[in-house]
Amino acid sequence: MATNINRAAVIGSGVMGAGIAAHLANAGIPSLLLDIVPTALTPDEEAKGWTLEHPAVRNRLAANALSGLTRLKPSPLYDDAFLSRITPGNLEDDLGKIRDVDWVIEAVVENLHIKRELLAKIENHWKQGIIVSSNTSGISIDGMTAGRSEAFKRHVLGTHFFNPPRYMKLLEIIPGETTDPDIVARLTEFCGKRLGKGVVVAKDTPNFIANRIGTYGLLVTLQTMIDKGYTVDEVDAVTGPAMGRPKSATFRTLDLVGLDTFVHVANNVYEKLDGGPEKQAFQVPQVLKDMVSFGWIGEKAGQGFYKKV
Residue 247: DSSP 8-state: T
Q: How far is CA 210 from the centre of its chain?
A: 14
Q: Does 14 bind ligand NAD (CB under 6 A)?
A: yes
| DSSP 3-state of 301 | helix
Q: Does 304 bind ligand NAD (CB under 6 A)?
A: no
The amino acid at residue 153 is K
Q: How far is the CB of 269 from ligand NAD (least distance, A)?
A: 12
Q: Does 31 bind ligand NAD (CB under 6 A)?
A: no
Contacting ligand NAD (CB under 6 A), which of 48, 70, 93, 114?
A: 114
Contacting ligand NAD (CB under 6 A), which of 56, 61, 109, 281?
A: 109
Q: Does 145 bind ligand NAD (CB under 6 A)?
A: no
What is the distance between the alpha carbons of residues 204 and 201, in angstroms, rounded to a whole number?
Answer: 10
Q: Does 123 bind ligand NAD (CB under 6 A)?
A: no
**Closer by beta carbon to ligand NAD, 34 or else 101:** 34
Q: How far is the CB of 295 from ligand NAD (least distance, A)?
A: 12
Determine the size of the site formed for ligand NAD (CB under 6 A).
Answer: 28
What is the distance between the alpha carbons of residues 239 and 226, in angstroms, rounded to a whole number?
Answer: 15
Q: What are the CA-CA distances from residue 115 to residues 45, 109, 286 (Å)?
A: 22, 8, 26
**Closest by alpha carbon to 2, among 154, 199, 192?**
192
**Closer by beta carbon to ligand NAD, 98 or else 277:** 98
The amino acid at residue 243 is M
What is the distance between the alpha carbons of residues 72 and 69, in angstroms, rounded to a whole number?
Answer: 5
* Contacts with ligand NAD, residue ranges (CB under 6 A): 12-17, 35-36, 63-64, 91, 107-110, 114, 118, 135-137, 160, 162-163, 257-258, 261, 265, 300
